Amino acid sequence: MEGELVQPAPEETPRDANPANVGLELFGYVGIEAVLDQMRIKTMKTGFEFNLMVVGQSGLGKSTMVNTLFKSKVSRKPTGPGYEERIPKTVQLQSITHVIEEKGVKMKLTVTDTPGFGDQINNENCWDPIIKYINEQYEKYLREEILISRKRKIPDTRVHSCVYFVPPTGHWLRPLDLEFMRRLSKIVNMVPVIAKADTLTLEERAEFKKRIQKDLKAHGISVYPQEDFDDNSDDRILNNKIRDKMPFAVVGADKEHQVNGKRILGRKTKWGIIEVENPAHCEFPLLRDLLIRSHLQDLKDITHNVHYESYRMQRLNESNRLALSPINGLLGKDEVESDL
Amino acid sequence: SQIHMPPSSALQDDKEYVGFATLPNQVHRKSVKKGFDFTLMVAGESGLGKSTLVNSLFLTDMYRDRKLLNAEERITQTVEITKHVVDIEEKGVKLRLTIVDTPGFGEAVNNTECWKPVADYIDQQFEQYFRDESGLNRKNIQDNRVHCCLYFISPFGHGLRPLDVEFMRALHQRVNIVPILAKADTLTPSEVERKKSKIREEIERYGIRIYQFPECDSDEDEDFKLQDQALKESIPFAVIGSNMVVEAKGRRVRGRLYPWGIVEVENPAHCDFVKLRTMLVKTHMQDLKDVTRETHYENYRAQCIQSMTRMVVKERNRKYGGTRHKCPPC
């Protein structure tokens, strides 16, 4: 567990202790703020992990989007013209890991793709392999956590964010979208996006978004950033602004073009160049900011403190307590299989 | 239009001239009086711009009163068949246009056999016509047979999806299928080319028999031949639809206004809309009806008669065959 503050129970407070533990005024410079620098240096040294999952029908630009997000050929798929795309008969889960570095900060990025999702004629239960994968990562972490002698840094393969690509029909969410998001938003941070949004005019986008928001509300689907986890009113204001704009209408591109003398990432069509990083053209910058620049740590925290915890609680309640105690160590193998 | 009768003096001189060269004109005049009818079906997943395209093609607003379903209704939606009829008139020529739509197609999580209601509908129209044709009073037979089916392929896939293949294979013997690459404004020119050739290759690979444009007669002029060739090479038609008029370079055009530019629906450099409309209305409407009549309907009729004959024979054997062949006790 991350650092926990132990508060003495009210009855036990000695009479002469300071009743106000917060708001103590310092009459000189102590240097507490230097801890931020220490944390920063440490983070830079150790680097951090981020696990992203992308889900959606084939052809919605998932791989391109990932490449655009991390400005590198992260996605395994070659995007050359001679490439034959084969739709697998069942949903596969493919993870690739890269280490990318920016200004001395290292990030171990794992992207999990889900080819075959929603592509068949009968897509019943096509979400099951995905749910299974996510739970398996929680299970892996749990097993490491309950060991007697634990690793200093437990490898974290848990999915921190699942980006769901909604096709830009402009109408409303399809039954498949609703079924998937309803189930997955309970176990992972779900970030829906409107894929290939360059097919919608600005008006159509706004209407589509409104309908999607209504749909999500009607079905009780809570997408990231979830309202329940706003820490304080500042967070709520910031997150409300984000929630208002979700799902983001995104366009992905990994080719550069010349626009006004600058090299811009975009798509060149007969009627103009769609600039991916131009907020007037699409909301890709908002998605990038959310996933990487502002809420990356929050995504990890919520995954750890909320989703993982509820998985852990579920497992502890299911299995026999004795089998799980530190004395015995690992969970019995048969118990694990029966629950998954 | 006037029937041009040559002056009687010329008739007397030319003994070979009978006068039936005027027949096409007579047919033409009669048709104009009677008016034409055409039944067009649009099929494909929801959200591919079918309604917008239909409205753009015929410059109408057929879907004005369309009701949007709420969330619950959508979860349990099955495939429906809806009909909209509109009478259009242009320069004295009347067209009764019937648009058959297939809401709910491909919408569900499980779309197994979702093409069946569509196939059943087409068969029902054939059956209706067959009955009417075999009936006693054939004066006012109504022809509700589907003359053409525009099948909308999503531009977001990598070519045909399993559902597309299944649908077209189930329907290609029943109706003229014209494949459409929908919402083509989401694609760059090279992507359009790539997708088109991929789709054409897959159509061939899966043995799907789409509507074939008739071969040009060798005596047609070069322009027409080139146009015909261009038409064949455009399949599937990459279309964009719009009912909005926007301002582009000082002109008012039908199009879609994006922050990065304007897509003009009727600009052949932007999409194949004009080609599709030309084909559907100007040049191939009659052929579509002919093929429906001569091929698809005849196939249905032949099958129908065959299966009826089989049933009659079976029935006869049942009635009279039982006395000769004693079934062994079970």
The alpha carbons of chain A give a radius of gyration, in whole angstroms, of 23
User: Does residue B240 or residue A76 have the better pLDDT?
Assistant: B240
Whether the CA torsion A311, A313, A314, A319 is positive or negative: it is positive
The yes-or-no verdict on residue A6 having pLDDT over 50 is: no
Q: Please identify among residues 119-148 of chain B the ones whose CB lies closer than 8 Å to any CB of chain A.
A: none
Task: Choose among A199, A271, A275: nearest Cβ to B183.
Answer: A199
Q: What is the pLDDT of residues B80-89, one digit of tens each?
A: 898 888 888 8
CB B96 within 8 A of CB B35: yes
Residues making up chain A, counted from first to last? 340
Question: Chain A contact for B224, CB < 8 A?
Answer: no
Mean of the per-residue pLDDT values for chain A?
83
The yes-or-no verdict on residue A334 having pLDDT over 70 is: no
- Rounded to an integer, the average pLDDT of B305-326 is 79
Cα A223 from Cα A209, distance rounded (Å):
14
Residues of chain A positioned with their CB less than 8 A from the CB of B163: 121
Q: Please identify among residues 268-307 of chain B the ones whose CB lies closer than 8 Å to any CB of chain A.
A: 269-270
- Give me the pLDDT at residue A310, please: 94
Question: Chain A contact for B8, CB < 8 A?
Answer: no
For residue A307, give both structure tokens.
């989703």
Residues of chain B positioned with their CB less than 8 A from the CB of A61: 156
Q: What is the pLDDT of residues A84-103, one digit of tens each?
A: 556 777 788 989 888 888 88
- Rounded to an integer, the average pLDDT of B56-61 is 81
Burial class (CB in 10 A: 0-12, 13-18, 19+), A138: buried
Question: Would you call A167 and B154 a contact, using CB atoms and an 8 Å cutoff?
Answer: yes
Burial class (CB in 10 A: 0-12, 13-18, 19+), A27: exposed
Q: pTM for this structure?
A: 0.82
Question: Chain B contact for A201, CB < 8 A?
Answer: yes
CA nearest B255 in A: which residue? A201
Residues of chain A positioned with their CB less than 8 A from the CB of B107: 174-175
- Give me the pLDDT at residue A8, please: 45
- Give me the pLDDT at residue A1, please: 41
Of chain B, the percentage scoring pLDDT greater than 70 comes to 87
Question: Would you call A195 and B269 a contact, using CB atoms and an 8 Å cutoff?
Answer: no
What residues does each domain of chain A span?
Answer: 34-78+86-314
ipTM value: 0.79
Mean of the per-residue pLDDT values for chain B?
83
CB A287 within 8 A of CB A248: yes
The alpha carbons of chain B give a radius of gyration, in whole angstroms, of 24
Confidence class of residue A142 from pLDDT cuts 50, 70 and 90? very high
Cis peptide bond prior to A14, omega within 30° of 0: no
> Side by side, which strands form the sheet with A161-166?
A94-102, A105-113, A48-55, A161-166, A190-194, A248-249
| CATH number, domain A34-78+86-314, options 3.40.630.30, 3.40.50.300, 2.70.98.10, 3.20.20.70 | 3.40.50.300
- Rounded to an integer, the average pLDDT of A150-156 is 86
Of B276, B320, B111, B35, give the one whose Cα is nearest residue A121: B111
- Give me the pLDDT at residue B44, please: 92
Confidence class of residue B92 from pLDDT cuts 50, 70 and 90? confident
- Give me the pLDDT at residue B231, please: 83
- Give me the pLDDT at residue B292, please: 92
Cα B270 from Cα B272, distance rounded (Å):
7
The yes-or-no verdict on residue B228 having pLDDT over 90 is: no
The yes-or-no verdict on residue A112 having pLDDT over 90 is: yes
User: Does residue B151 or residue B7 have the better pLDDT?
Assistant: B151
Whether the CA torsion A165, A170, A174, A179 is positive or negative: it is positive
Question: Chain A contact for B231, CB < 8 A?
Answer: no
The yes-or-no verdict on residue B27 having pLDDT over 90 is: no
- Give me the pLDDT at residue B69, please: 62
Of chain B, the percentage scoring pLDDT greater than 90 comes to 31
User: Does residue A338 or residue B35 have the better pLDDT?
Assistant: B35
SS3 (DSSP) at B79: coil
CB B243 within 8 A of CB B54: no
Q: What is the pLDDT of residues A7-65, one digit of tens each?
A: 444 444 444 445 555 677 777 788 888 888 888 887 777 788 899 999 999 889 998 99
Residues of chain B positioned with their CB less than 8 A from the CB of A169: 45-48
- Give me the pLDDT at residue A200, please: 92
For residue B215, give how far its alpha carbon lies from the nearest alpha carbon of chain A (Å).
32
How many beta-carbon pairs below 8 A join chains A and B? 114
Q: What are φ and ψ of residue A53, in 5° steps?
A: -115, 140
Residues of chain A positioned with their CB less than 8 A from the CB of B246: none
Confidence class of residue A254 from pLDDT cuts 50, 70 and 90? confident
Question: Would you call B162 and A120 a contact, using CB atoms and an 8 Å cutoff?
Answer: yes
Cα B112 from Cα B163, distance rounded (Å):
9
Least confident of A45-49, A208-212, A218-222, A314-318: A45-49
Question: Would you call B155 and A199 a contact, using CB atoms and an 8 Å cutoff?
Answer: yes
Confidence class of residue A107 from pLDDT cuts 50, 70 and 90? confident
Q: What is the pLDDT of residues B261-274, one digit of tens each?
A: 889 998 888 899 99
Q: What is the pLDDT of residues A229-253, one digit of tens each?
A: 888 888 889 899 999 999 999 998 8
Confidence class of residue A210 from pLDDT cuts 50, 70 and 90? very high
- Give me the pLDDT at residue A82, please: 42
- The answer for residues whose C-beta is within 8 angstroms of residue B36's C-beta and 6 or more apart is B93, B94, B95, B96, B285
- Give me the pLDDT at residue B76, please: 59
Residues of chain B positioned with their CB less than 8 A from the CB of A178: 71, 75
